[in-house]
Amino acid sequence: MLPFRLVYHEDYDLNLGHHVFPSEKFRLIRERLLAERFAAPEDFVKPEPAPDEDLMLVHDRGWVQRMKTGTLSYEEVLQLEIPYSPEMVRAFWLAAGGTTLAAHLALENGVSYNVGGGFHHAYPDHGEGFCAINDIGVAIRRLQQEQKIVRAMVVDCDNHHGNGTAAIFAGDPTVFTLSIHQYNNYPAFKPPSSVDVHLADGVGDDEYLERLGAAYRFPIHGFRPELVVYVAGADPYREDQLGGLDLTLEGLMRRDLLVIETALREGAAVVVVLAGGYAINLQDTITIHSNTAKAAKQALDTIGWKN
């Protein structure tokens, strides 16, 4: 049996207090997976904060410095939509280190799961929508720099368009970005991904899975990425407060299996990152993210990995 490693740090918590983004979800997911004996404590690997040099493979030096030194402008904090704190900064540096570590583990073991990350709304020179540092971009750029991979594909299934990621990799023939999202929702400005699937409000399981499969299977086969970054947002769920799609818990798990099994069949490793999730009942968000870990392990056991 292939090892299934999860990446987690207790300081992933963004320290947001009472906020629609439940930043305690990272800890709760770990606790759920342990309580259900899906994972043992030794399955979790602890990341270091990403070095500033890694962040600057994606982000402007000025943005990194203003984040570190607490010198963001009032407008920059407003656009971020989360309060500034040193704990928040550390959490974003750890998330980027965590996704990078999980990507390395995925290349070794086929699949790995960061119990965090997926901050797809962060642009090179600013943050927005609860995202300050784009861990997806940082991990891909770092692995390319190390020559561990040539091509990567981002499969962004969060309810919201992956605007920051699309902007980072615009015009880059080595990174294919796919975003499937509710069209009539944040962000208003959606810079084009390689493929964008704009969904109407209220789309349910069957239409979602059909359109995801159609947008994904052919491109991954042609593009032949070594790594797929699966942005496994929990917010397409029908009871999400910030989402307007109508997926069920079962539909979301079918989505997970579709993305991960297809990638493994095509010979691509998969790193899972979490992104959003704002269910009315927080326990549903924990269930959706925990189910993604289970789907990942199931896919790995079913399809296997070449290494």
- State the residues that interact with Zn ion by CB under 5 A: 158-160, 233, 235, 276
Note whether 134 and 146 are within 8 A (CB).
Answer: no
Note whether 89 and 16 are within 8 A (CB).
Answer: no
Distance CA 224, CA 211 (A): 20
For Zn ion, the closer CB: 242 or 295: 242
* Least gap, CB of 9 to Zn ion (angstroms): 22
For Zn ion, the closer CB: 13 or 235: 235
How many residues are there in the chain? 307
Note whether 276 and 160 are within 8 A (CB).
Answer: yes
For Zn ion, the closer CB: 142 or 255: 255
For Zn ion, the closer CB: 166 or 264: 166
- Buried b / exposed e over 257-287, threshold 16 CB at 10 Å, is bbbbbbbbebebbbbbbbbbbbbeeeebbbb
* Least gap, CB of 275 to Zn ion (angstroms): 6
Beta strands in 141-182 (DSSP E): 152-156, 175-182
* Least gap, CB of 83 to Zn ion (angstroms): 19
The first and second tokens of residue 283, run together, are 């326990």
For Zn ion, the closer CB: 248 or 298: 248
* Least gap, CB of 121 to Zn ion (angstroms): 8
* Least gap, CB of 185 to Zn ion (angstroms): 8
For Zn ion, the closer CB: 19 or 224: 19
* Least gap, CB of 218 to Zn ion (angstroms): 26
Note whether 159 and 231 are within 8 A (CB).
Answer: no
Side-chain-facing half-sphere of 264: CA atoms under 13 Å: 28
* Least gap, CB of 20 to Zn ion (angstroms): 11
For Zn ion, the closer CB: 118 or 225: 118
In this structure, the number of other CB atoms found within 10 A of the CB of residue 200 comes to 11
Side-chain-facing half-sphere of 58: CA atoms under 13 Å: 34
